[in-house]
Chain A
Amino acid sequence: MNGQVAIEQGRQPWLPSRDAEEVLVLHRYDMPLIGVIRQDGDLYLYRCIEGQTEASHLWAYSALRQDELEVLSEASPEAIDQAVDAAASDRPVVVALAHDGTGITASAIVAAPQRYESLVHAAGSVLREASSEVDEKLAHLVV
């Protein structure tokens, strides 16, 4: 298991970089919503955590071990959510905001997701923080 998933802006969330390969789609409704990708030999679990049928959506990415992939691959329909939670609960998460027309537009790392009420809360917090930092930096450039 490696570090964090590489995210390229403008990519679709289920293939977030040029070199990402689809390993497994666990859940799809119109677009893929939960699945596993491989990047540079490492596995990552992705899931849409908000906006599953909407034009804007939030996503979460976690590094995944091979044994966890096997558990996910064998999970029954009723056990998938629990298997996803178990595979992703103890490690940093990358969260991303995406839109139908433009793909991924922003991403940030949540170092300790367990400190938040939910991944959606974590995503909201770190993405807002990142956005504020960008706003501040840009403000210094405006004279």
Chain B
Amino acid sequence: MPERPSRPPLRPDEVLTQYGRQDATGFRNRPRPGVEEAISVIVGRLTAAEAHALIIRRGTYRPGFDVVRYTTVAALSEAGFRPQRDPTPAIPDHVLVFAEGEWDDEAADRFDTCFGRVAGEET
């Protein structure tokens, strides 16, 4: 596999975007047992349309249904999470967020409080 350009280390003030849906799915606030060990976010302040294009890649972006929320590297770190770059060919700025301890109900609440308002009306 060819070498891909390396990305700079995450800065504390770096904004991170999490994609979610304005339905029962919502935003993931803990890994699914047996499926994953960390939660994905993307470096930068992406609009919901940009995040949808990067993650879902096909299908139609639905304003108000496809949504995003934002945090920073520092906010996650101070709350006991460890964001670490995990570039993939499809999303070079992909980041995985691990919990420093057990990812239980309290950690899930703490994870949610790291994020600001939900945005999804951008086009």
Contacts of B55 in A (CB 8 A): 29, 52-53
CB–CB B1/A24 < 8 A: yes
CB–CB B35/A29 < 8 A: no
Which A55-99 residues have C-beta < 8 A from chain B?
55, 73-77, 80-81
CB–CB B25/A31 < 8 A: no
A119 to chain B, nearest CB (A): 10
CB–CB A29/B2 < 8 A: no
A49 and B56 alpha carbons, distance in the complex (Å): 9
Check B47 for interface membership: any CB of A closer than 8 A: no
**Which residue of B25, B28, B33, B90 contacts A27 across the interface (Cβ within 8 Å)?**
B90
Contacts of B36 in A (CB 8 A): 30-31
A24 and B28 alpha carbons, distance in the complex (Å): 25
**Interface SS of A by simple majority:** mixed
Which B79-101 residues have C-beta < 8 A from chain A?
86, 88-92, 94
Check B117 for interface membership: any CB of A closer than 8 A: no
- A contact residues, range: 20 to 34
CB–CB A81/B88 < 8 A: no
With A53-B21, A55-B25, A74-B2 in contact, is A30–B92 under 8 Å at CB? Answer: no
A76 and B25 alpha carbons, distance in the complex (Å): 30
Contacts of A40 in B (CB 8 A): none
Closest A residue to B33 by CB, please name it: A101
Per-residue interface assignment for chain B, residues 17 to 41, with 1 indicating a CB less than 8 Å from any chain A CB and 0 otherwise: 0011100010010011111100110
**Interface CB pairs A-B, < 8 A, 21:** A12-B35, A26-B90, A27-B88, A28-B88, A28-B90, A29-B55, A29-B94, A30-B32, A30-B35, A30-B36, A31-B32, A34-B90, A50-B59, A52-B56, A53-B21, A53-B25, A53-B55, A54-B25, A73-B89, A75-B89, A100-B35
